[in-house]
Structure 1
Amino acid sequence: MTPTIRRSVAALVLSLPFGLVGSADAAGEKQTFRATLNGTSEVPSNQTKGTGEVTATYDPGTRTLSWKGSYSGLTGSVTAAHFHGPAAPGQNAGVLIPAPAATSPFEGSAALDEAKAADLLAGKLYFNIHTAENPKGEIRGQVERAP
């Protein structure tokens, strides 16, 4: 090996631990998620004029998910609201986290177990608002990492 190649390999090997530490630090920071709620995201979709939005913050140190949301234009009063999962967009799943949303705006928080936290981070949760006219869900949105 030439001296130049040896120095390059040494520099690469020495930089690896620093890159790993940086990744671990980033994983420990709070993360923001968003869901845009509408009837076309429901499965099956519906023609509601209702819309909404949920913004959530996840703290991996405490495994706490905190959220705020709002909605308008629903066909009637909210009968239930939940985070569902695990499910990819276009799939249905059971309730994971109740999220009372009788009035808009609404907010709440919940401690997540390891499985729910992993589903959140993998993009496998969605938020769903139910009404009497749409008991399976009037508006829904996949919970995704905010840019």
Structure 2
Amino acid sequence: MHQTLRKILPLAAATLLAFSTAAAAKEVSLSGDFAGENGATNQPSGHVSATLDTVTHQLRYTIDYQGLSGPVTIAHFHGPAGPDVAAGVMQLIPGPYRSGMSNSVTIDAATQSALLNGLSYVNLHTKAHPKGEARAQMTVSPSPGM
């Protein structure tokens, strides 16, 4: 009996841990709308939609944009910063850059905190505007049914 319990208890504990970790996973929806910045005279627009798994720190995103002065040369998540405040790079958005791009990145705890608190933005940089031409301040989207 004791030998059977010694074999079953670790398996039961591992199973319980696996289910509790899965239950603790929380996905948060985020979004932001692009507007021009840094003297952009054109009318850039577009949208970022993202889903963040707060346990694995996986951030999945789709970025749509139009109206830029030229191709995107680089893109980042910046922060921590509120609207209209500049901040440093927190996370590179890997290319190739095109409207409609989707990807995922693993982010660190500081970037996750900035995103969850509305203190991060996506910045699209172009040759004409190397400091950033379009910015989308990220905010937590309401969950369905709220």
Q: Normalised by the shorter chain, which TM-score bucket?
A: 0.7 to 0.9
Match of residue 13 from structure 1: none
Matched, 1:133 2:131: no
Matched, 1:122 2:141: no
Match of residue 79, structure 1, among 73, 79, 85: 73
Q: 1:46 to 1:27 in 2, by over 3 A?
A: farther
Kindly state the Cα deviation for residue 27 of structure 1 after the two structures are TM-superposed.
Answer: 7.7
Matched, 1:59 2:56: no
Kindly state the Cα deviation for residue 84 of structure 1 after the two structures are TM-superposed.
Answer: 0.4
Q: Using structure 1 for the length normalisation, give the TM-score.
A: 0.74
Q: Deviations over 1:90-141 (max 9, x none)?
A: 1111111111352111112111222211111111100010111111111101
Give the unaligned 5+ runs of structure 2.
Answer: 1-22
Q: Hey, what's the Cα distance between the residues in 1 that align with 2:39 and 2:141?
A: 24
Match of residue 68 from structure 1: 62
Q: Using structure 2 for the length normalisation, give the TM-score.
A: 0.75
Q: 1:27 to 1:125 in 2, by over 3 A?
A: farther
Matched, 1:142 2:134: no
What is the letter of the counterpart of residue 36 of structure 1? D
User: Is residue 26–residue 53 contact of structure 2 (8 Å, CA) maintained in 1?
Assistant: yes
Matched, 1:47 2:44: no
Kindly state the Cα deviation for residue 46 of structure 1 after the two structures are TM-superposed.
Answer: 2.9
1:22-41 pair list within 5 angstroms: 28-39=25-36
Q: Hey, what's the Cα distance between the residues in 2 that align with 1:28 and 1:123?
A: 20
What root-mean-square deviation, in Å, do the aligned CA atoms of Structure 1 and Structure 2 show? 1.8
Match of residue 107, structure 2, among 105, 112, 117: 112
Q: How many residues align?
A: 119
Poorly superposed stretches of 4+, deviation over 4 Å:
none
Matched, 1:88 2:82: yes
Give the unaligned 5+ runs of structure 1.
Answer: 1-25
What is the letter of the counterpart of residue 98 of structure 1? L
Q: 1:34 to 1:101 in 2, by over 3 A?
A: farther
